[in-house]
Structure 1
Amino acid sequence: MPNTTLARAAIAAVAALTVGACASPPEEAASPGGRSQPGSDLAAEAGSTEVEGPEPRLVVSDADSGRVNVLDLTTGETLRSFEFDNPAHVTTVKDRYAFAVDGTGGAVHVVDAGTWTIDHGDHTHSYTKDPVELGALEGDGPGRVIEGDDKAATFFDAEGAARVIDFAALRKDSIDVGTVVRADAPHHGVALPIADGFVVSHSAATGPLELHTADGAVPQRFHTACPNLNGAAASDTHVLGACEDGLFVATTADGTWTSEKVSYPSGIGAATRPTALRGHPELPLHVATAGPAATNDGLLVFDARTRAWAHVRTPDRALDVALAGDGRSVFAVLADGTFRVYDVQSGAETASSRVLAHPYDPSEVSATPPVMVVGGTRAYVSDPMSKTVAEIDFRDNARVARTLDVGVAASTLGVVGL
């Protein structure tokens, strides 16, 4: 791999889970029906209970139906199954909500998975309630959900418009759309919430990305072109777009925007360029597979702070990748059926385990590929053929801690409640 060193991200101290004394802000006031444990200084939302510590849940979408299951990760039991019209792609938002995007129709179903944690710096408060659907966003064409700036923006391709929900509304069990962001025309696009605005794609393949405000103004068109945008991410300070000829990077500081194009590593071309970017809002690192399974050449790590790439070549095709919350490790599930751990700084493999009952054949176009998600100190990898999900303790030599029988061929996974 190239001799590129990625700076490690600073690691925040883990907040204590003991409920301590703190001032309760007005928006956390009790609602009738909420129940807190003795000694807590906060009252729970209506229908919820404060618990000793985080109780994470796994959200699983079925590749073959419109079913989305919410599992209790303490017991492995399914708490609730939601039946939608068509198979859906799940995007988790605010570590609590699941946006289930109908891949055939236009609806985006919003589910409160019913577990969340409020961080007060020196301690946290955790709550649970029954999972419930809050409603659906109706639109034309497949939706694409991007979280950022305390908002979730769902872009509908056939309309060329994004519907935006503010987290303040979600916390009140509302999916009322606060803002509609309109691109120049319908297209396979995206709206990235950042700094009280939105970076929006353009319908022309070589058209410029644009900065939109909530009132519909377009104060800036970025000069850096992004042909054939496919894959994007937003953080507090920057947005990324995976273009045909490199990575579009736009940053903001003190109200001033700048943009640039960062070339892909040597050897990365049209067949091995990234088409999805994953990371954590508080980290400058983003990871991606180097192309789809059919043409994959390992995995890529990008540091938005230094603009440096690392290209890690894996022993078999990387089907999905994820980043540890501390930014030290990147994980990959490979076509040979293994889960691999790589050191972000050196690119060296540090651990591996077998997680699939059988290798995955990328030539089987009808087969559902394995997917992965990270929650806390565990990674979860789906095995669609066996309808199971492996829970992996990646700090313990990639040990498979348990295998969850989820009863469906999982096409997407999400972890909430941490």
Structure 2
Amino acid sequence: MFVRKNVTAWGATSLVSLALLATSCAGQDDNTSAGKESSPASARAHGYVEGAQEAAEQQSRLLLNDPETGDTRVLDLTTGKVHEVPPTSGTSNLTTDGRFGYLHTASGTRVLDAGAWMVDHGDHVHYYRAAIRDAGRLPAGTGARVRSDAAVTAVTGEDGRTAVYRRAELEKGEVGSPRRLPGEPASAVVPYAEHLLTLTDDTDDEDGSTKVVVYDREGKRVTSPDAGCEDPRGDAVTRRGVVFGCADGALLIREDDGGFAAERIPYGADVPAGERASRFSHRAGSDTLTAPAGDRGVWVLDVTERTWTRVKTGPVVSVNTAGEGSPLLVLQDDGALHGYDTTTGKQVSRTKRLLTDVPETRAGDTTGPAIEVDRSRAYLNDPAGSRVHEIDYNDDLRVARTLDLDMKPVLMVETGR
């Protein structure tokens, strides 16, 4: 069963990527992804990146970590090879921006270049693979929120303070010196359209709403849309703009003729705090977001149509979708992956039990099994079974491969997207 509400109103590649990378398509000098001095484009092939190999297809890799032992691996999904890298123990969360993995610990955040990424030029895409290497350590640790685009990486610490790092430095294997943003935002700082977007509560509003704030790359506050968001939780970058989760639904911020416009996407009914969308997951490049709706349901937000759909699923451990007509993927407490039609809310497919042991964690937790989705496959980690399942979600959730490991993949993210 499901309830559908019709309303009006990242890690995906943001629009700024297109602007920043268009010069290489136009035949100008290419500032390489390695951040090094480049020679004239006439002497290099289009899309050339120093120190990287361009490939014809997506070069997906899984970054895996066991917080207890510190075991850390990079699993190359193209070759099937497992790369052992220096360990990181005590990891509270593992996130990615499509290339770099961020291992959050109490003492700071380790930045690992997984050596696989893509560059979206709008009408075509370049795929790259390079050596895996450490890129340094960020001082912000447990609770830090890291958001990136092609130019900068914004790190918002648990204390609310934000440091903005140059992406070119990270691509050279160095953290570099950050620029500090003023104030203490109430949400993550999200790079978008050559600016930095966030929510702040430094207003006198009696309703407790936070307001949208837009900074330029230098940290100067610029004109912002007049819009608020009560009790902000979660955010995501889509091709339609930046989505912030709010008490009444979502707030969409998009570029509009050189400025920024805000549009509300309400649930359409009052939703208890424990059932609101608070942590979004989606396929990079998709405009369909998913989030737990409490312990027994899932929210699907279609940013294009500005609609929320609530799918009743039963106990949820993890959720994701590829969007665009693909099934909603839900890992439930029976250890099986279930597929739902987001239009009807009906279950359309189901795997056998895939998890050796189902942890007590629930959807929205930063640890536990995760569902990573790309354009053709989904990946589900089985920590107790020391393996990862590759799922063809377009073929009735067929298990295409089971990839065995020499460690417990408690935390998992996919890079190369």
**Which TM-score band (shorter chain)?**
0.7 to 0.9
Residues in 2 aligned to 1:117 and 1:263: alpha-carbon distance in whole angstroms: 33
Residue identity opposite 2:303 in structure 1 = A
Are 1:90 and 2:88 matched, yes or no? no
Q: Is contact 1:196–1:213 with CA below 8 Å preserved after alignment? A: yes
Secondary structure class of the residue paired with 1:201: strand
Q: What residue in structure 2 maps to residue 234 of structure 1?
A: 237
- CA gap 1:326/1:150 in 2 versus in 1, 3 angstroms: farther
Residues in 1 aligned to 2:103 and 2:72: alpha-carbon distance in whole angstroms: 8
- CA gap 1:235/1:401 in 2 versus in 1, 3 angstroms: closer
Q: What residue in structure 1 maps to residue 350 of structure 2?
A: 352
Q: 1:128: how far off?
A: 3.0
Alignment of 1:15-414 (within 5 A): 26-27=29-30, 41=45, 45=49, 47-51=51-55, 53-84=57-88, 86-93=90-97, 95-102=98-105, 104-105=106-107, 107-118=108-119, 126-139=127-140, 142-148=143-149, 150-158=151-159, 160-177=160-177, 179-182=179-182, 184-185=183-184, 189-202=187-200, 206-220=209-223, 223-264=226-267, 266=269, 268-280=271-283, 282-291=285-294, 296-314=295-313, 316-324=314-322, 326=324, 328-354=326-352, 355-362=354-361, 369-414=368-413
Deviations 1:2-59 (A, max 9, x none): 355799xxxxxxxxxxxxxx98753277999xxxxxxx94696555445564432111
Secondary structure class of the residue paired with 2:331: strand
- CA gap 1:230/1:176 in 2 versus in 1, 3 angstroms: same
Deviations 1:321-380 (A, max 9, x none): 2121645332111112111222333333322113212444459xx995321111331111
Deviations 1:147-198 (A, max 9, x none): 346533221122x22222344444444433564323x33x763101122222
Q: 1:269: how far off?
A: 1.6
Residues in 1 aligned to 2:33 and 2:4: alpha-carbon distance in whole angstroms: 55
Q: Is contact 2:95–2:413 with CA below 8 Å preserved after alignment? A: yes
Q: Is contact 2:154–2:164 with CA below 8 Å preserved after alignment? A: yes
Work out the percentage of aligned pairs sharing the same amino acid.
25
- CA gap 1:253/1:118 in 2 versus in 1, 3 angstroms: closer
Residues in 2 aligned to 1:335 and 1:212: alpha-carbon distance in whole angstroms: 43
Residues in 2 aligned to 1:367 and 1:51: alpha-carbon distance in whole angstroms: 32
Bigger Cα displacement from structure 2, 231-240 vs 219-228: 219-228
Bigger Cα displacement from structure 2, 81-90 vs 333-342: 81-90
Residue identity opposite 2:175 in structure 1 = I
Secondary structure class of the residue paired with 1:271: helix
Secondary structure class of the residue paired with 1:277: coil
Residues in 1 aligned to 2:53 and 2:226: alpha-carbon distance in whole angstroms: 51
- CA gap 1:27/1:382 in 2 versus in 1, 3 angstroms: same
The root-mean-square deviation of aligned C-alpha atoms, in Å, is 3.5
Q: 1:311: how far off?
A: 0.7
Residues in 1 aligned to 2:33 and 2:210: alpha-carbon distance in whole angstroms: 49
Residues in 2 aligned to 1:382 and 1:337: alpha-carbon distance in whole angstroms: 11
TM-score (norm 1): 0.78
Q: 1:233: how far off?
A: 1.5
Q: What residue in structure 1 maps to residue 11 of structure 2?
A: none
Q: 1:381: how far off?
A: 1.0
Residues in 2 aligned to 1:225 and 1:135: alpha-carbon distance in whole angstroms: 36
Q: 1:288: how far off?
A: 1.0
Larger RCO: 1 or 2 (CA < 8 Å, sep 6+): 2
Q: Is contact 1:179–1:214 with CA below 8 Å preserved after alignment? A: no
Residue identity opposite 2:273 in structure 1 = A
Stretches of structure 2 lacking an aligned partner (at least 5 in a row): 9-24, 37-43, 203-207
- Count, aligned residues: 384
